[in-house]
Amino acid sequence: MKKREGNRKEWIKNILIIFLVVLLILTFFSNTIMNYSLAEVSSTYITSGSISTAIRGSGVIQSVDPYNVTITEGRKVESVNVRRGDNVTKGDVLFILEEGDSTEVTNAKKAYQTLLDNYQTAIIDNKISAEVVRAAENRDTESLSQKITQLEQKATVLQQKKDVLDDIDSQLSILNVEVVDTTAEEAQLEAAQNSLNTANENLSKYNELQTKVENLLAQAQSTTDDNEVTTLINQAVAAAAERDKLGTKENLESQVAAYGKQVETLNKTIADKKAAPSEEAAQLAYKRAVANNEYSQAQSSYDELYNEIKYQRQLQDMLDEIDEAKAAYEKLESKSVGTEVLAPVSGTITSVNVVAGETVAAQETMAVIQLIGKEYTLEMTVTKEQAARIKVGDVGQASNSWYYSDMALTVSAIKNDTSNPSSGNRIIVFTVTGSDINVGQSVSVTVGDKSANYDMIVPNTAIREDKNGTYILIIRSKSTPLGNRYTAERVDVTKLASDSTNTAISCALQGYESVITTATKPVSAGDLVRLPK
């Protein structure tokens, strides 16, 4: 008995041990699973130090009022006598051009000759008379005016002839409809033909019934069977009654003859109407032939005069174009430049855009001269927030000031970035002065360099913003039986200053708190987080 009770206690003790072990295992793994489901965050402590609000950027030096050296015609460059950075005096030879006509003069000659060729081709292709050519070359506007008046008169005559022809055609159309209109006769013919067909069918049926009666009576006479005789006589009587309903044979033959005559007469009437035109139609046809001949002559006379006017006008227009092309060609030829391109002003060569052997187009910039005493500018793009910390009159500094010797940069304007208005960026314009300046060189600039010490500084990645303002997330730690728990807590802050990496803040903290900078997934205030191992 005691042994049984001892076994029972041992069994209960083992169950309790197993239960506690399982509970510990489940607690451990649930804690581990929960930890891995949390966002892993990186953090840093709030520090103190200094922040510089200097704004850095770069831009290209440009001339404020450069002078572009150009020529008025396209020419080929034989040699280049200057280089970038050379100082030149007004009248110095900058380029030597090859001898010969310019591209513009050559093209003007070709255009003039093409118009002359087109003029001669038009005369030949259109077989224009010498009288019309002479009138066009003499700009004979009086004869042209007279021809226009004559053309108006011929147009009136032509319309009259056309009206006469149209009237005859109208009469012929009406007459033709009357001559060939046999609709009524054809309807009568169809009715007569139907009646004739019916009469022929009735006559044929009458003859068939008559033959049937005679055959039945003959059979009755030849048989000795009284019943059969009676049957045949009854059939003969029935056939005779059906025959008599059709009328007499004479009447049926008379109908066939009458309807046949009517069909014959109608066929002849229709044939006569279609075959023989009336005398009036023949007279109108003759009148139309005469009227059509007169109309054709009037049309030819009108067309001939119309073409004379048209060609005279066309030739005059072509001659005007020829005169204009000749004047343009002669003007270009008279203004053709020499072989030397001289400096129009004194200054410094900031760029040379052509090389020897290259053909330069008219008004193409061959070189750029920076006039003596003119300023240079540099433009730098910054954000709206950065621009707010800069004002006109601020002095900038080239990053390699030792290299640019006495270069000085002063903010002269702050304007919107019109090339990308949606960005909200601003353009800082600097006035650049100094003795060692080259147009087109890129310069890195620092402006607004102001440093200050602050008690609380955090990385820029720690700064967050929402509709309620600017804030940071700090880590709060709480000890639990299963280990420390870490919670993200929101702290509203005010930004005091910032540079490219850090931001100075003001908030209700002691300054030794740990601030979340990055996280493996989005973190909000109140969320549990885990720290890197």
- Using the 3D structure, point to which of 427, 449, 471 is the last residue of a domain: 449
pLDDT band at 220 (very low <50, low <70, confident <90, very high): confident
- Using the 3D structure, point to which of 266, 301, 335 is the last residue of a domain: 335
- Using the 3D structure, point to which of 309, 335, 361 is the last residue of a domain: 335
pLDDT given at position 27? 56
Decide if 238 contacts 247 (C-beta within 8 A): no
pTM for the predicted model, two decimal places? 0.35
Mean per-residue pLDDT, 504-511: 84
pLDDT band at 463 (very low <50, low <70, confident <90, very high): very high
Distance (Å, whole) CA 250 – CA 206 = 11
Distance (Å, whole) CA 386 – CA 388 = 5
Mean per-residue pLDDT, 490-499: 86
CATH code for the domain in which residue 394 is found:
2.40.50.100
Provide the domain limits for residue 11. Answer: 1-37
Residue 456's nearest CA partner among 427, 494, 486 is 494
Q: 311 and 396: one domain?
A: no
Q: 156 and 285: one domain?
A: yes
* 87, pLDDT greater than 70: yes
Mean per-residue pLDDT, 190-207: 91
Asked which of 97-101, 244-248, 505-509, 520-524 is least confident by mean pLDDT, the reply is: 97-101
pLDDT given at position 326? 87
Decide if 262 contacts 192 (C-beta within 8 A): yes
pLDDT given at position 23? 64
Q: How many CB atoms lie within 10 A of CB 97?
A: 19
pLDDT given at position 278? 65
Q: 172 and 276: one domain?
A: yes
Q: 226 and 300: one domain?
A: yes
Q: Residue 352: which residues within 8 A CB-CB, separation 6 or more?
A: 80, 82, 83, 84, 366, 367
pLDDT given at position 275? 65
Q: 80 and 159: one domain?
A: no
Beta-bridged to residue 431, according to DSSP, are: 377, 410
Q: 155 and 273: one domain?
A: yes
Start-to-end CA span in the chain (Å): 58
CATH code for the domain in which residue 500 is found:
2.40.420.20
pLDDT band at 18 (very low <50, low <70, confident <90, very high): confident
Q: 49 and 63: one domain?
A: no
Q: 237 and 116: one domain?
A: yes
Q: 436 and 456: one domain?
A: no
Task: Output Rg (C-alpha) for the chain, integer angstroms.
Answer: 60
**Tokens 């005859």 label which residue?**
168
Q: 33 and 139: one domain?
A: no
Kindly state the percentage of the chain with pLDDT values over 70: 88
Q: 142 and 80: one domain?
A: no
pLDDT given at position 307? 92
Q: 172 and 263: one domain?
A: yes
In total, how many domains does the chain have?
A: 4
pLDDT given at position 277? 58
Decide if 54 contacts 390 (C-beta within 8 A): no
Distance (Å, whole) CA 53 – CA 448 = 7
Decide if 249 contacts 203 (C-beta within 8 A): yes
Residue 99's nearest CA partner among 342, 340, 343, 362 is 340
Structure confidence by residue, pLDDT tens digits, 228-276: 888 988 998 998 899 889 889 899 889 989 988 998 998 888 887 776 5
What type of residue is 323?
A: D
